Structure 1
């Protein structure tokens, strides 16, 4: 929303605004890009304010931002051709990207939404102390992130489905949309009434006279077949005529002297007007509630503009809302609301425009390079409603039931330049996965430097974290007297964040066996907080929540609940680990981001920032490295205390420190680039790239063979030269012989067989020349990834996302398992000729325990090889550090370089287990990232079957859909905690 500039000329949507949309769209796509819509304000030939809008359902391999603008630009040109012209008041654009939840992707279900189409109405307004009545085109539209569960009216909460049936009757307008959000549009049509007597009387009847939704359905429960007994449009028009007649008599008395708005009223004359209306309507409406009906109608006539209607809606709504409401009656303002869903607003002071987005990074991407630009994040926890214009904003707090003062807002403005809390936006890359992999060494180096600096945010947080652990250790004996002692540390997150947290928890217990450390998914945590007290959280418990984006929906909701518990004293402290300092989770724990704000010492930052690639690499690497730094820092500080049964000596910690210092160099060799960005084509990197090529050839074999066979048919049929017959004609021709008659049918059969079995024959030939197994099954391949649980889980998600947009003819099915546990039991019966198995093997040279692990995994691999048919079975690539794996009868082995062995390590099993989980296992993970990226890159580049391997169809990079428990209430959380206190 901004002022129209001279260079904008007559364009409905100026080119500069289109570029702003594209920038913000690219950042918002990670929340889902199944469908999208855009709308702008314009003026028609009669100078009436109108919406011009378009919606699209994105095709599987298309980019939503590009698809939407392509369609929307055509719509704007058509509208201009029909006489639409730009609005002089402001340039206003509203866009929404959708990830379907309550209904399947369809144009009808895509936002924006309207319930009633544009219609003309008499609209009263006040200008220079005078009443003016205009005949205006009325149209309201909304966009909505979140879930609309129900609305309270008639002293009852009406669920979404029933509400829709009721709205169809009350508004006398059907609506075929199945989703929840269209009902919000219907509610806006009902609630926006300022200056319109017909709309005011319709709303007043439902709020003051009707007693239930049944009143609009002939006394029956609302169903599709129920009759419509709501006041008819003719009845409402009749009432409106009576009311307007009285209003015309009173209008000059109702306003205060020199009034500039219809809210500046004379209470005395309003009361007289009310009594006169009751008298006038009593002859038409026989109703005990007539006085309440008239009082309500007068109130909503004067007050219910776009802003007040949104406040009324949210005050009675249930669900979560990132809501934007717009109306042709207020074309220079919007109302944006955040309650359980994020909304960020940004203001460019020098160029007089504002932007809003559900993704704060979208605001940053537009404004971060512009001086005097600021961001204001609405409080989604307590709920806030912002009435915004080009250069002004009014914010209403739902929690405090008041509008915030300017001074309160000033404290929350986030400057976007020179702010150490704000990272610069991610630069565009043709291949974001490759870019992320190549940045791993640089990020690892920056993490190391951060933890070496005692004044860094991470060190400040770590110092506080360790202080709490030391405090707990001193009181350990007192706390352990009960049968069920409270948890010392609870770690929560979802998916990748949770898996990393689980591994960190295992390692922490390894070095501190007396510490009680538990992990739980954020979704389960929310359920437990509400419905049972089995978490065993106590007043001394510490909680760590992990989320790369800092806004993963269940983890963010858990953050809100846990922060309440901390403030109530039900847990000792709450920490978060995110990709960057400025996040919604940070805001939830009262970390402010203006330059003078103090640091809470409760946020760990992995420094990877915001990443758009769905197959995540650098974010995982950064989180793993940060947790390693935290683990070693805890070990260093607690070793001297002897706390929690510490198993490591000072010498052990120093050895782990040396491993940590050496790790960035190892990472450089694996990913093929240094921390400074210099190419480093090491033997490790070369092995990975070369090995990936053969597996990529497996995947693209089917389309390549199809192309060869298609070419064969074109040549042999098109030119009439079937292969076998032609070869025989040539041979017999050179010998001056004629082909025997009995041989001709056989030659024809041979050509027919080639047409039928040609693809398989070409496959054999192709495999022969590429030195690949001849008798593997043809068609779609499957890969089984076997490694430690946290590694195979991460890789299964990574690889499946790399191939999520691949074509069925050149695709890959991905599975994962623990080769030391359940892998063969789950997948042994599914091994067929040509199955691909990728085994990560620990370095058995390091300790007897690691040797046993290596032997167990090698045994699993050999057992898989034993499942054969036609002397052909699975194809296995082993990845590890021990050169011995190259001699284990696997089809290929990638042996990563390693440091010299230290014989003294054999005496410390815990130390070697930590080396495996924090470093050598991490190296295998990085190597696997490179291997599968190179493989996917080759498949994604195949002619005519190209796809973007760095994204999926829906683009859900950030988990934004509701958790099983949308918001854990403070009261229930408190009760659960009271039951579980020790």
Structure 2
């Protein structure tokens, strides 16, 4: 639904259950954006309003977030209602809520210009939690400005399809460099947007730790191979599923003693997502009895990070395994948010003076579960840069998994490793040469600069081939 201030007068009520809803607060621009896509509420960040900014300089301190753009994601799993009130609690009786709900305390945002009232089905924000409400809302917020983990929306392009194709060499080169250097700069190219570490390398370290733990269990005979036990499970939908199937095929052929399975997220939700009713996968060998993914390593492939069935699987798997990872276009996605909540659920968010919050923050850092391509949101409909970047990232993950297993002979024995160190050297050589081939095909350098017209032989060959096919189709149709 769409509401305006004229309709609401002084209040706006949002609800979320089964469908995600995000609310972004822009204190300096005096606007509040809401939508079902997290990326949609970042639209105001690329728009400069006329006149002076309200509230002064934002860059005085990274700890001062009063003027930062903050986003609140409602609890779509348990259900949550959010009431935004900008009337200054100046109703006819001085209250923003009806009498039965006045125990819900307001939480101030937008420099005290907007009050937020939250009510969850699974958690009450009543008088018992009054002392922790401000802290609780603060920890739920995601800072969108001055945050190197947030990928800004791309600038508008005259031809979005052409721009996506031209971005392929640069993004593939950035992903390769991200696995080799200690400092990664954001894909926007901004000198100020730098991370002191590589997020993908940190996630790969955590993946390697989970893989070694499972392989050591096989070596120590505390875990015995079973026909229905899955070691690595990959899932996704549509194009992402196709890429996951290619990755699973390569990994299974390289390590035949492991059981590596790629299954549609829709099939998994049909089999395990409903308590008493399961939907059989007619025509496929997959069933609830042929799949045992307890403590399995799960890799969810989703470019948007918000597709319904992969998002549902990110919550479904948490009851049977904690080794869940996602390959997505940016750090800030719905699936990424679900996975970041894993460590908070284990440790709890209560600060009892024993350093609980510090342990959580360190856990979020070293238990990183998000692989990112850096592609971000792409409005063009054809799958071009998203597929190429995801394939490139999966190639790097494949190389890393292979290096971990080949590092010790006991791992090679229990996995039946066929791939060798020489094979990895050849693959890495092809991996680097792929960027030069992409430059030749797209007519664009890996720095994003287009080549002069008629420079790229491969590009001209492809264009001539398409033109020739179109001519043949016209002759055939006539």
When the two structures are superposed, what TM-score results if normalisation uses the length of structure 1? Answer: 0.37
Q: Distance in 2 between matches of 1:483 and 1:378?
A: 41
1:466 partnered with 2:220: no
Aligned counterpart for 1:456 among listed residues 191, 198, 213: 198
Change (3 A) 1:373 1:571: closer
Count of residue pairs brought into register by the alignment: 375
CA offset at residue 471 of structure 1?
2.2
Change (3 A) 1:697 1:389: farther
Q: Distance in 2 between matches of 1:398 and 1:535?
A: 35
1:361 partnered with 2:35: no
| Structure 1 residue ranges without an equivalent (≥5) | 1-36, 43-50, 52-329, 702-766, 768-775, 779-982
Aligned to 1:414: 142
1:332 partnered with 2:10: yes
Aligned to 2:252: 509
Matches within 5 A, 1:821-832: none
**Counterpart contact for 1:457–1:604, Cα < 8 Å:** yes
Change (3 A) 1:481 1:363: closer
CA offset at residue 572 of structure 1?
4.7
Aligned counterpart for 2:175 among listed residues 419, 441, 447: 447
Aligned to 2:330: 580
Aligned to 1:389: 85
**Counterpart contact for 2:340–2:369, Cα < 8 Å:** no
Q: Distance in 2 between matches of 1:332 and 1:513?
A: 63
Aligned counterpart for 1:671 among listed residues 428, 434, 442: 442
Three-state SS of the structure 2 residue aligned to 1:576 is: strand
**Counterpart contact for 2:228–2:290, Cα < 8 Å:** no
CA offset at residue 392 of structure 1?
2.0
CA offset at residue 624 of structure 1?
0.3
- Deviations along 1:236-292, one digit per CA (max 9) or x if unpaired, are xxxxxxxxxxxxxxxxxxxxxxxxxxxxxxxxxxxxxxxxxxxxxxxxxxxxxxxxx
Aligned to 2:71: 375
**Counterpart contact for 2:24–2:69, Cα < 8 Å:** yes
Q: Distance in 2 between matches of 1:579 and 1:493?
A: 14
CA offset at residue 411 of structure 1?
1.2
Three-state SS of the structure 1 residue aligned to 2:227 is: coil
Q: Distance in 1 between matches of 2:306 and 2:435?
A: 29
Q: Distance in 2 between matches of 1:39 and 1:539?
A: 45
**Counterpart contact for 1:346–1:367, Cα < 8 Å:** no
CA offset at residue 640 of structure 1?
2.2
Q: Distance in 1 between matches of 2:472 and 2:140?
A: 56
- Deviations along 1:679-724, one digit per CA (max 9) or x if unpaired, are 333211110111111223355x4xxxxxxxxxxxxxxxxxxxxxxx
Q: Distance in 2 between matches of 1:379 and 1:590?
A: 14
Q: Distance in 2 between matches of 1:483 and 1:375?
A: 45
Q: Distance in 2 between matches of 1:419 and 1:439?
A: 23
Change (3 A) 1:638 1:41: closer
CA offset at residue 483 of structure 1?
4.9
CA offset at residue 555 of structure 1?
0.8
Q: Distance in 2 between matches of 1:400 and 1:559?
A: 21
Aligned to 2:457: 683
Q: Which has the larger radius of gyration?
A: 1
Task: Kindly indicate which of the two structures has a greater share of residues assigned to helix.
Answer: 1
**Counterpart contact for 2:218–2:225, Cα < 8 Å:** no
CA offset at residue 518 of structure 1?
0.6
CA offset at residue 554 of structure 1?
0.8
RMSD over aligned Cα, in angstroms?
2.4
Three-state SS of the structure 1 residue aligned to 2:326 is: strand
CA offset at residue 377 of structure 1?
1.3
What stretches of structure 1 move > 6 A for 4+ residues in a row? none
CA offset at residue 393 of structure 1?
1.2
**Counterpart contact for 1:528–1:534, Cα < 8 Å:** no
Aligned to 1:648: 419
**Counterpart contact for 1:528–1:535, Cα < 8 Å:** no
**Counterpart contact for 2:26–2:32, Cα < 8 Å:** yes
1:693 partnered with 2:421: no
CA offset at residue 538 of structure 1?
4.1
Three-state SS of the structure 2 residue aligned to 1:410 is: helix
Q: Distance in 1 between matches of 2:288 and 2:2?
A: 46
Aligned counterpart for 2:387 among listed residues 607, 620, 625: 620
CA offset at residue 356 of structure 1?
1.1
Three-state SS of the structure 1 residue aligned to 2:423 is: helix
Q: Distance in 1 between matches of 2:447 and 2:227?
A: 51
Matches within 5 A, 1:514-529: 514-529=257-272
Aligned to 2:230: 487
Three-state SS of the structure 1 residue aligned to 2:316 is: helix
Three-state SS of the structure 1 residue aligned to 2:140 is: coil
**Counterpart contact for 2:150–2:331, Cα < 8 Å:** yes
**Counterpart contact for 1:344–1:375, Cα < 8 Å:** yes
Aligned to 1:601: 368
Aligned counterpart for 1:661 among listed residues 424, 432, 436: 432
Three-state SS of the structure 2 residue aligned to 1:619 is: helix
Change (3 A) 1:548 1:448: same
Aligned to 1:555: 310
When the two structures are superposed, what TM-score results if normalisation uses the length of structure 2? Answer: 0.73
Q: Distance in 2 between matches of 1:354 and 1:428?
A: 22
Change (3 A) 1:482 1:373: closer
